Amino acid sequence: MLMTKLKIKGGYGEHGRSCFMIEYKDKHYIMFDCGILDTDPFPYPNITDEEAINTDFLFLSHAHKDHSGAIDHLIYKGFSGWILGTKQTIDFSHIEYDKIIILNNKHKDTWENPLFYVNYGRSGHCPGSLWFYLVLDDGYRFFYSGDFQQDPMLYACDLPTNLNADVAIVDMANDQSMKSAKNLREDLLAIINNYRHKGYKMILPVQLYGRGNELLYLLATNFPNNKIAMDQIMIEAIEKMLLDCDWMQEEKKNIFIDYFTKIKKNDIARAEIILLADTHLDRLDNQLLVKRMLRQKTKVICTGRKKEGSFLARLINDHRAIRIPYPHHSSRKDALDMQENNQFAMILPFHCLTREIWK
């Protein structure tokens, strides 16, 4: 019974296309995420028309396109069920659909119907991100971490503990690392500090609704005497995120808002550290800015995934940029901690290129 109810449609053994389906009554499904793999010629999950039509519920862990970018494709294939996610997830995914249920984003909570219930909590990854724990009326139990960070710098995380599941899908994007998030942040700070002392300016491309918030907080708290700036797209995105601050750790809300209020006034032309809301430097204006700054003493630092074929990837390949992953996802150590703190009969680590099964 462990695997027979689970259909993996993407995300296992690859960075993206996250999509997992649970059969909860005869040929009817509950889906967790429906994302794209933007480096693939056919980026969508491998969902049949029949599966799309018979999916009654889609739970979204967060708004990033590798988890929510295939919703229009799912609807095109016949999906007419309910979409469930936090307000931030629905808003930032730009979902236009008439059957939506908004989930709470303040603490652990439960959503239920006569055939199953789902416990959920904040996953520490981005505004509105959640993990899910599903229990069917026949006793089958399934855990899905979504993108997860157990020790975030800024985001709130409701740690899942003492859960008993038949199958668990657990984030392990940083699968090569046995370091904690704190140690990985220290590594990044040491490298940035080294470039500071050598007189370099630095450019950090970031996600629109992701690690950029944490990096802003990390840099502002550790380098208060350096001028930090953001592009206008990032400023507008943060202003939108600040309309509801439940995704942040309570004790850090006012500190972050104060930093942001001051830093958003800084001019990029005079900044020493620049955050650009353009993950792979796809925008032409940012490419021109980077080319111009690289003629001076400037270092580009990639803190996320290296997307082959992108402008940022070419800079890395040409040794004009470096990649130092920010602990925005779980490391192998974090995934092992998740295993230790819960009772999972089978674990499938996902969001990494390896295909492992832990029992």
In the predicted structure, residue 3 carries a pLDDT above the cut 80: no
- Give pLDDT tens digits for 122-138: 999 999 999 999 999 99
* Cα dihedral 298, 299, 302, 303 sign: negative
Residue 208: its pLDDT value, please? 84
CATH for 181-323 (3.40.50.10890, 1.10.3720.10, 1.10.286.10, 3.40.50.300): 3.40.50.10890
Amino acid in the structure at residue 21: M
Residue 1: its pLDDT value, please? 44
In the predicted structure, residue 106 carries a pLDDT above the cut 90: no
The residues spanned by each domain of the chain are 6-176+329-350, 181-323
Question: Tokens representing 292?
Answer: 């111009």
Q: Band the pLDDT of 105: cuts 50, 70, 90.
A: confident
Q: Band the pLDDT of 67: cuts 50, 70, 90.
A: very high
- Give pLDDT tens digits for 207-227: 889 999 999 999 999 999 999
- Give pLDDT tens digits for 265-281: 999 999 999 999 999 99
Tokens 């009817």 label which residue? 28
Q: Band the pLDDT of 118: cuts 50, 70, 90.
A: very high
Domain 6-176+329-350, what fold?
Metallo-beta-lactamase; Chain A (3.60.15)
**pTM of the predicted model as reported, rounded to 2 decimal places:** 0.95
What is the mean pLDDT of the segment spanning 234-260? 96
